[in-house]
Amino acid sequence: MTANAGSGKTFILTKRFIETIRRKRIKYNQIVAITFTEKASAELLARISNEIDDYLNKNYSSLPDLVRIKEFREHILSAKISTIHSFCFDLLKEFPVEAGIDPSTEVMDELHKRELIERSIEDTLIENVENQDVREILRIFGKETTIRQLKSLVEKRYFTDQLIEKIYLRDNKSDFENYFNYVNTTAKEYFNAYYFDKLKLATRPLSEVKDEVTLKKKEDRDELIASITDLENAFDKFLDDLNFELLNSIFQTIITILLTKELKIRKKPFADANESSAITQFQKIILELKDFFNNVKWDKESEKEKYRLSLSLIDIYKKSKEKFQLLKSLEGALDFDDPF
């Protein structure tokens, strides 16, 4: 059952639970009630206990029903009213041989889990400090940032491993072309969703911008107008095939002939610019796209470098994850991200 917070989910679940044990004549170990959080499961357990107490106090049911429901109430703490994680862990402990775990295994709490992950990462970095890739990662990102990023990766290792296999490695082997194609496709999807219409809008004032050029020398004016025409063509070409390497070139042209690096209007070629000028409208649109332009430094060689650094980070992540698994096994502990 799904619903918004405060909409009465616990109330409905409680009523359903009571009706089920009453009408279907089941025992405490034949029914489960699953919630997402420990707080919700504790609240559900308390509500069900109170409802059963109220039901028994009314004492209007048949004697067999009262005996059975009273027995249910006495074993309420053994009933499967828990989070999905706790329920699954109970199943694993019920069948330890089949699950391949020690019968005495316990689930570690979140605080201890985070401490163990941080220790695993720090130990891994210390053990591999002479490794050139490790030293490069620490030099580029700094120790604190590196540890923070690795902690996030290890904590979410189920999703991290899926991401690595999908983007960076195939059959545990590096595959730059797969990575590059994935990043390129994702960037295009993101651009189409958030920036395509804005960039298309930026092309509209350019034809009027040519009429606003105030350079006195005819050859200078003609040269700038020709460059603006080339810019229009480059915009059209980019919007047709979304070649991000071309977008880098477009941005460089904009901050060379029309705007400054701070994206202010160049005064010399546009001395008469005002709030209603086409160049001002163009500038406003480019300012909205500033973050995208600044973040897209797109060429295959730079992506190869990013990919190389990513592989170095993945290697440290894998070693840290192995260390974490070892420390857990020594403690006879599991956490809810362990695969089975």
Q: Are 18 and 51 in contact (CB under 8 A)?
A: yes
Q: Which two tokens stand for residue 188?
A: 């295009």
**Residue bearing the bigger pLDDT, 142 or 333:** 142
CA 34 – CA 134 distance, rounded (Å): 44
Binning pLDDT at 50, 70 and 90, where does residue 64 land? Answer: low
Taking residues 22-34, report their average pLDDT.
80
Q: What is the pLDDT of residues 266-305, one digit of tens each?
A: 999 999 999 999 999 999 999 988 877 776 666 788 888 8
Structure letter (DSSP) for residue 174: E
CATH number at residue 37: 3.40.50.300
Residue type at position 219: E
In a domain, 268, yes or no: yes
In a domain, 32, yes or no: yes
Give the pLDDT of residue 62: 61
Most confident range (mean pLDDT) of 8-22, 294-308, 312-326 is 312-326
Q: What is the pLDDT of residues 97-145, one digit of tens each?
A: 888 877 777 878 888 999 999 999 999 999 999 999 999 999 999 999 9
Taking residues 68-87, report their average pLDDT.
83
Whether pTM exceeds 0.75 = no
Q: Is the pLDDT of residue 33 over 60?
A: yes
- Out of 51, 82, 104, a domain closes at 104
Query: How many domains does the chain fold into?
Result: 3
Q: Are residues 98 and 114 in the same domain?
A: no
Q: Is the pLDDT of residue 243 over 70?
A: yes
CA 96 – CA 285 distance, rounded (Å): 62
